[in-house]
Structure 1
Amino acid sequence: MNQIKSCVLILFILLSCRTISYAENDTIRLNNYCSLALQYSEKNRDSSIYYADIAYSIAEKLHQKFYQASILSDLGYTLLSNGDYANALSKLLIANTLIEDKNIANDVIITPFFNKYFTSNDPKTNRIILLGYIKNSLAMLYGRTNNFDKQLSELKEAKKTIETETNDFNLRWTINNNIANAYLNMGVLDSALYFQKIVLQIEGNIENKNYKGASNKAIGDIQFRKGNFEDAKSNYLAALKLLKKNNNTFYVALTEFALADTYRKLGRLDSSLYYSKAGINNYRSLGSYVPEMEEAYTALALSFKDEKKYDSAFYFLQLSKNLSDSVNSKEIKTLTNFQNIGFNEQMRLKAVEAEEIKTKTTTQILLLLAGLLLFSIIAFVLYKSNKIKVKANLALKEKNEEIEKTVAQLKTTQVSLAARNAENELLLKEIHHRVKNNLEVVSSLLALQSNQIDDPSVQSAMLASQNRVHSMGIIHQKLYQGENLAAIEMQDYFINLSENILDSFNADGHIKVECDMPKLILDVDTAISIGLITNELLTNSLKYAFTEKEKGAIKISLTEQNTNSSTEGEYQLKISDNGIGKAVNETAKGTGFGTQLVSLLTKQLDGKLTYEINNGTIVTLIFKKPKLIRA
């Protein structure tokens, strides 16, 4: 019997080898494609996007959400650099949602790619570092779209987090430098100079030489804006010397372009032309479209105009005009070559991978056959030595085998059902997660669109739509984070919903929302209706109840009513404020869409809605008790 146990153990180990090999192979592929994306990030951004997409699909297959967030962060930054702001926003918002989960780094695979961002072996610290880089990229995007208030908000939030939870000086340098640039773009020069001094203090503690010179360039920008062109020139030249020494092509181009503008202000047109041409050549060497090239061509055209070289001025002005619609034929050829290189590299890696799998499979089959042969020999010897005993106990053995077979089938069925249930639960959580992410993207796109609209009534409608979308997004977030996939705990939901609405109206400092209620759990359909009703009533209170008050309070409660063993019972939703009060028959303000939505949802719940004026407005909704699980 001991011989049989040994043989079975050998077979188990042989069969396990194949599973381990595939897991290791996927990890190697993930690291290879991440490395390729990083390698091409400065040489050719389109190829970097191509490899990052492949790496993301592998990370998704391995359920490595930390890597998904990291790769999406890189993709968002690269798309932002290419001027594809809509896709960049989508990638960065999803990455931001993923990395906000504090448990995301618990089971991360450690590979050489980890060295790109992280200076610590602590997953919690690395999560904060990646969060800082994601918010920095979001801030850059908002800056590119002239939404400087949103840009500063993201940067200051990142600054507060990283300075309290990490010692990463590279990230501190980046965040403070971008805050200074944001103030510079807004024309607040004293604040820009203040943060640039912080950058100079940090610069002595960083090891990355690519940063050297960038702060000199930033101080030159401030001096230029102040009209101190000689001081600006001195700082730009110092920056250019350091940047060229460290081969920082992109910043070299930016500095040369700034020098061209400075010399143009000083009346030295020959030097202006020299640095304009040098900057454009460096932009072109990056291998893909750079948004600053349009501005560089325009500046070069103005320099030629000042020298009265009108043919050259018209030529470069035409280049600037056409650049936003298409790239020139040389850039198209370069892009095609890089795409072909990427395709060939992918085919090579797949061939290597297939050869490795083939070799491993052949070895495993040979080992398996050898094990089976050894097992057969042992079984034959045991059979011969126990032949007489087997005949005497044949009837009993057959009976035992039948019972064991039945038990084994039941165990197999039970394990299969448990695995299938676990898989279905995981898939359902993933669906809720993706729905929540998509709703966040919709909300953010509405916010971007709202920033482009001047009409206050349209902006108000867009904000209301954002809050409605967010109220549904919170429900899907609670579903994938909780244990029960069919129900929502309402007290925590109301707290999250009210915090979002207060933030959207900038009322967090003077309006207080209290949720005094027991912990109750509602089914998803009812929770969505109640959430939308609460969203509309809270919005109305914030918009109209406190117009004559600096501070106020709103109370929310959801309680059981008339509950006993003989009746189904009812629920009471009460929302009250201590504002100026609303007349019961007062005509709805605004578009009236919110009032119609509340009325429609009340009918859907088979409920009754009443208004009362008593030191403010009290709105009460009574509806029949749905299926509910007590917390």
Structure 2
Amino acid sequence: MKYLIVVFCLFVCSLHSYSQYSAIDSLEQLAAKAKPGWDQIDYSVGLARLYIGGAGDYDNSMRHINIIYKNAEEQNIPVARAYALVMENIFAYNIENDREKSIRTCEEAIRIGKQYNCNDVIVFAGYQLSERYRTNFGDFQKSREIIEEILTYIDETVDDKHKANAIKTYGYILTRMGEPDKGFEYMEKAISILKKMKTDPFIDPRIGRVSAQYGDIDNLLQYAYNNMSESKLRLGRTAGSEEDLKEALKLALKSGRPRIIAWQYERMGWHYISRGYYDQALDYFTKNHKILETLSLPQHIANSNAYLAQVMTKLEDYTSADKYIDNAIKYSREKSDSLFLLERLMLKATINMRRGYTDIAEMHFDEINQIINTVNNPETYGLYSTVKGEFALYKGDTDNALKDFKKAYQVYNDATNGQGRLESSFWLANTFLKLKQYDSASYYGQLAIKYGYEQSNIAYIEKAHALLSQIYEENNLYKESLENFKLFYAFHDSVFKADAQIKLKEEQVRRDVVGYQSDIKLAKDNALLLEKQNQLYLWIGVILVIILAGALFFYFKLRNAKISIEQKNKEREVLLKEIHHRVKNNLQIISSLLNIQSRKLQEGSAKKAVDEGRSRIKSMSLIHEKLYGNDELSTINMREYIDELSSFLKNTYKPKSNIQSHISVNNMALDIDTAIPLGLILNELISNSFKYAFSDNDEGAIDISLSQLEDEYILKVKDTGPGFPEDFERTRSMGMRLIHSLSEQLNGVKHFENIDGALFTLKFKMRPITAQ
């Protein structure tokens, strides 16, 4: 009989794997028939957890918590009140976001458990309390003290799920406090217990069956895998971290519970943002946000907004980042949540600093300084020191920046936090470079690369190689500078395109296979049709077979010729791509060498000539970069090209005034023989505008348009500056001579005029090619 009860309960709980709602409905039916006392209490604990962990169902969660309280009073079971208090803690933390209440209810539950010698509820409430100190205040020391005491209460009366959670919590805390090997041992033990529970569950002697909470075992496993993944990532064990994360994702999707899935997407986003894969992080954070918008969970929506702000900051979209972080800060203020408010204010200060709003950033630092001492989390101090250091460096205060970054590095190093060590060592290298202390700069630059590879953080590996290239260049170590520049460029140029190229190849293979299968199917259909021919048409059939054989002979001959031609075309395309790639890389190396040379020259005509030569090389390099990256190897999308060229020149000349670039180009493509001279003309005109058209305090604009009128193309470049000098067209400068020569090469008609600024117009004809 006992065996049948176990099997029946496991069957009911397994329904949860198919649907959150079917599990709840099944348990509600069983709860309605349950006897007062421990039977009803257990069902209500299980149901309350499902309602809280689902969509945050306020009414049904409280209904079952009240059932537990009612049984405690009417059935004279004082310890049942402790279970109700633990559920109130979960409710307060997840739905009400009342951190103080969650701690208060846990402490009261532990007191009752000790009073009535109920180890099960002591362990249940104890690991919850430990988690609250860690998540509410970041106080790992207090959290560790609690859980180490709680572990002493584990015996045969404690339910396996509470035992596993307590062990998992202790393991996670150990990995965060510098004892990773011991920590992973405990977490693996917890996962082993949870897996065993699915086939050999604990029988609660008070009810003679498996607890109603066992429908949530997959959810507990999901949390354990996430803790393992996060701990491994912090220690640079990225391969194992990603494997654990994928296991957690499978369990989340299997649950079918929107809130659990949303939370898992958040964990996925955190993983990828920590590794510098910002597009993937944005994808998961966006999925998380979309689900949460359908649920009434303001705390989780605030968290989601904070994560979106982080990834937007990494992507340098500070306007979007500012919008998201404001929502998260508003919620933290309302709830007086010091830990999260601190982290969000620091991100807000960083956003405003990078936007150039230093006064506003100062105001945020004033508020941060008032509340920083209310938390007891070393890593929060590490983040605080990093943000302070960046702000000091931004203001040119290198001495204080150095102090702050050293403090951050020490905090992260003590906590064995790989991501923190990566960021702080990168900033230390930057600061020592500013101080021209090249040995120290290269030391921390190499450290940043080391930690970047340990964390598999592609974004920081690329940035660190670029930084080292600059450090070695300024230290006159040109060979080492060029080596690091090549590594920077290799990551920048190739890594982020790899996935797209692989997918493209897979799609090409898929299409070839589908086409081949279609040919086979058609041939089989024709064969079946021939077999059904009437005997009367036998001779006609023979003739048709001969004709068909001849046709097939010529078909396969033509097909083989076509395949041969296609193969040669593919080889030609590969060769052309490689040529464009090499030309682009060689031009880029020349540009880099000119840049190195330019930095060694004093301001004057020589430096100006080198800088102008570099920008002309860049305009040609962009052409080859576009051809290398396109499927169409003979044309360039002019809208994309002009946009990138304009951005490059703006970053090169860095005008102090606020200059807006407006680009109006239809979706057209030009061949390389037209695009290169046109690009060089644009380079001269845009550079001329940035250099001469605006004074330091001006606000102005540069308008660029390329349009088509019948068979004629019209290029216009206009700025809102003072206009061309009277003798501008007679100037014999290199730039002016290039414009005259290249306009003739295009068989174009050019015109300079002053209309509310300088306006250049070029009209030329060519055969139009529409961009695909």
Normalized against structure 2, the TM-score is what? 0.37
Bigger relative contact order (CA 8 A; separation at least 6): 1
